[in-house]
């Protein structure tokens, strides 16, 4: 009989940090060898909603973990999860696996079920912890808010890095090592807990002063908002660490700005909890009365490509789409506007748009993304239907056209106010001024006012039906905190 070494496995999922990490703490408490791993699973990562920008972020995050540990102790392995665990079981006596529960996409849920069956068949316990105050198997939201406050109020857990160094196992699977390295990217946010802490600190102590005035603006938000979203989405920071940091440091800015930020931390968990309780958000309208509307939409590849590539002829929408593809970030209002444009003006089926946009956000968080995408498409029957006017947004949020000019250089020569709506320029003026906008469309690819009216008639029409109201009631009961009527 061959001797098998005892090991414990910590599986990093969307929780790339050392501290405030119950699975790590528990594995270290065993006092035995621990294998720390993160998996790059080709079947998952090679397609949307994932993208190379997410892979980079993880790669940075793992390097940061190792820098903090003072040596390589966390391994990034390119292998399917099931294959990894099978090999571990073949080579070691696996005493337990430790991880957070992942509120992920359908594919990760199925994968977790397969891993659970495998471990179960070998009598290996998989110790999983709820993540960020989000609970699995919740039947209603009556006590959710109180429980969430109780959760975030507890001090974040500390991890003893000396114990990590002492117990970490050398990499037993060198051949799976994710060997690709990445040059720094000019725009994408870099991952890592250390960076996340710095970004948060600079926000709370200085940048927060401009929060309210920047939050809706595509350009100002890039500095005036916290920009911690990818660090939260990939777990470089826990929501509890952010919550406590906001209490501990001397906050700059007005009470209003501070409250607005802290409210959003609660929203983060609230949306992820909705998705945890109703993961069908990823695949179909949460209010099934809207399924027929979505099914009646006709796929139009040209419209989709124009939206994706930023050539719809509506400058602010196009600037946003080019910016997010290049940088991985857009502020909330601009995200909502590009979704409204896609689902309502272009009248395209929601799922392909949601998948593409997710692949562009470095902070892709399934729980926030799919719920928000449906909400901004007007598909819930619960929320106020918002059909954003992209021209008004352009004048309001980018009055000098700086953001538009940055991302649509072909429009640089157009003076204000024409930059916001080139189609309103009289033909005689085009002739006299000889403005050259290259191949950029002189007119939007859809007529904005009739597209808006069509979407409004359709969406309000369904919202009034008995079926929609009934479903809306069920959604409110199951997924929304009863004290806050709308979400």
Ligand X SMILES: Cc1cc2nc3c(=O)[nH]c(=O)nc-3n(C[C@H](O)[C@H](O)[C@H](O)COP(=O)(O)OP(=O)(O)OC[C@H]3O[C@@H](n4cnc5c(N)ncnc54)[C@H](O)[C@@H]3O)c2cc1C
The site for ligand X (CB under 6 A) is made up of: 215, 225-229, 232-233, 264-265, 267-268, 271, 331-332, 335-336, 339, 361, 363-365, 368-369, 372-373, 376
Write down the residue that tokens 């390589």 correspond to: 72
Q: CB of 425: closest distance to ligand X in angstroms?
A: 31
Helix H or strand E encompassing 240: helix 239-248
Write down the residue that tokens 């790669």 correspond to: 59
For residues 17 and 10, give the distance between their C-alpha atoms in angstroms, rounded to a whole number.
Answer: 12
- When the beta carbons of 59 and 364 are compared against ligand X, the nearer one is 364
Q: CB of 374: closest distance to ligand X in angstroms?
A: 9
Q: Quote the distance between the C-alpha of residue 100 and its chain's center.
A: 18
Alpha carbons within 13 angstroms on the beta-carbon side of residue 325 total: 14
- When the beta carbons of 219 and 228 are compared against ligand X, the nearer one is 228
User: In the chain, what are the helix, strand and coil shares in percent, each to the nearest 5?
Assistant: 55, 10, 35
Pairing type for strands 5-12 and 92-100 reads: parallel
- When the beta carbons of 314 and 354 are compared against ligand X, the nearer one is 354
Q: CB of 42: closest distance to ligand X in angstroms?
A: 22
Pairing type for strands 125-129 and 34-40 reads: unpaired
End-to-end distance of the chain based on CA atoms, in angstroms?
60
What letter does residue 342 receive in the DSSP assignment? I
Token output for 101: 């529960």
Q: CB of 29: closest distance to ligand X in angstroms?
A: 30
- When the beta carbons of 99 and 374 are compared against ligand X, the nearer one is 374
For residues 30 and 93, give the distance between their C-alpha atoms in angstroms, rounded to a whole number.
Answer: 14
- From the list 255, 286, 256, the residue with the least C-alpha distance to 271 is 286
In 10 A of CB 280, how many CB atoms? 12
- When the beta carbons of 90 and 263 are compared against ligand X, the nearer one is 263
Q: CB of 160: closest distance to ligand X in angstroms?
A: 28
Q: CB of 105: closest distance to ligand X in angstroms?
A: 12
Q: CB of 103: closest distance to ligand X in angstroms?
A: 12
- When the beta carbons of 112 and 363 are compared against ligand X, the nearer one is 363
For residues 323 and 330, give the distance between their C-alpha atoms in angstroms, rounded to a whole number.
Answer: 8
In 10 A of CB 43, how many CB atoms? 11
- When the beta carbons of 74 and 220 are compared against ligand X, the nearer one is 220
Token output for 186: 């000019």
Token output for 73: 């102790």
- When the beta carbons of 107 and 264 are compared against ligand X, the nearer one is 264
Token output for 266: 């609660």
Q: CB of 239: closest distance to ligand X in angstroms?
A: 8
Token output for 90: 């073949």
Q: CB of 78: closest distance to ligand X in angstroms?
A: 24
- When the beta carbons of 368 and 459 are compared against ligand X, the nearer one is 368
- When the beta carbons of 88 and 339 are compared against ligand X, the nearer one is 339
For residues 465 and 185, give the distance between their C-alpha atoms in angstroms, rounded to a whole number.
Answer: 49
For residues 129 and 196, give the distance between their C-alpha atoms in angstroms, rounded to a whole number.
Answer: 22
For residues 87 and 115, give the distance between their C-alpha atoms in angstroms, rounded to a whole number.
Answer: 12
**Cβ–Cβ < 8 Å for 482, 142:** yes
For residues 244 and 211, give the distance between their C-alpha atoms in angstroms, rounded to a whole number.
Answer: 19
Q: CB of 369: closest distance to ligand X in angstroms?
A: 3
- When the beta carbons of 20 and 365 are compared against ligand X, the nearer one is 365
- When the beta carbons of 323 and 368 are compared against ligand X, the nearer one is 368
Write down the residue that tokens 């904005």 correspond to: 448
Q: CB of 437: closest distance to ligand X in angstroms?
A: 29
Indicate if the alpha-carbon torsion angle 303, 305, 309, 311 is positive or negative: negative
Q: How would DSSP label each residue in 257-317?
A: HHHHHHHHHHHHHHHHHHHHH-GGGGTS-SSGGGHHHHHHSPP-HHHHHHHHHT-SS-HHH
Q: CB of 358: closest distance to ligand X in angstroms?
A: 6
């Amino acid at each position: 009989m061959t001797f098998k070494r005892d090991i414990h496995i910590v599986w990093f999922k969307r929780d790339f940090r050392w501290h405030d990490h119950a699975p790590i703490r528990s594995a270290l408490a065993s006092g035995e060898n621990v294998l720390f791993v993160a998996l790059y699973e080709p079947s998952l990562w090679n397609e949307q909603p994932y993208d190379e920008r997410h892979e980079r972020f993880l790669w940075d995050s793992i390097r940061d973990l190792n820098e903090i540990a003072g040596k390589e102790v966390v391994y990034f392995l390119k292998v399917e999860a099931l294959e990894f665990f099978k090999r571990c079981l073949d080579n070691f006596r696996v005493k337990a696996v430790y991880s957070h529960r992942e509120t992920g996409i359908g594919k990760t849920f199925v994968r977790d079920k397969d891993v659970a069956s495998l471990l179960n068949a070998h009598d290996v316990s998989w110790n999983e912890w709820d993540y960020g105050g989000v609970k699995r198997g919740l039947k209603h939201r009556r006590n959710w808010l109180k429980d969430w406050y109780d959760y975030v109020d507890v001090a974040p857990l500390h991890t003893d890095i000396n114990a990590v160094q002492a117990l970490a196992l050398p990499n037993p699977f060198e051949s799976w090592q994710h060997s690709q390295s990445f040059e720094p990217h000019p725009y994408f946010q870099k991952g890592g807990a250390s960076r996340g802490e710095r970004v948060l600190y600079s926000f709370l102590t200085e940048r927060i002063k401009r929060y309210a005035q920047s939050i809706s603006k595509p350009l100002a938000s890039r500095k005036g908002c916290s920009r911690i979203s990818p660090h939260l989405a990939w777990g470089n920071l826990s929501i509890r660490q952010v919550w406590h940091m906001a209490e501990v440091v001397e906050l700059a800015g007005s009470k209003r700005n501070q409250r607005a930020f802290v409210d959003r931390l609660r929203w983060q968990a609230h949306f992820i909890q909705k998705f945890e309780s109703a993961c069908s958000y990823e695949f179909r309208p949460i209010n099934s009365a809207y399924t027929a509307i979505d099914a009646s939409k006709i796929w139009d590849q040209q419209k989709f490509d124009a939206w994706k590539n930023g050539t719809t002829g509506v400058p602010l929408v196009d600037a946003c789409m080019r910016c997010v593809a290049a940088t991985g970030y857009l502020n909330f209002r601009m995200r909502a506007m590009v979704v409204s444009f896609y689902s309502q003006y272009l009248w395209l089926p929601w799922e392909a748009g949601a998948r593409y946009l997710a692949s562009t956000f470095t902070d892709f968080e399934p729980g926030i993304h799919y719920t928000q995408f449906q909400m901004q498409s007007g598909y819930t029957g619960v929320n106020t239907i918002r059909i954003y006017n992209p021209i008004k947004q352009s004048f309001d949020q980018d009055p000098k056209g700086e953001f538009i000019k940055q991302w649509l250089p072909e429009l640089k020569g157009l003076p204000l106010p024409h930059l916001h709506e080139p189609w309103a320029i009289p033909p005689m003026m085009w002739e006299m001024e000889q403005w050259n906008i290259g191949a950029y469309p002189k007119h939007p690819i859809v007529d904005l006012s009739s597209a808006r009216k069509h979407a409004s008639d359709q969406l309000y029409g369904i919202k009034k039906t008995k079926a929609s109201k009934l479903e809306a009631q069920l959604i409110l009961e199951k997924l929304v905190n009863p004290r806050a009527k709308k979400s």
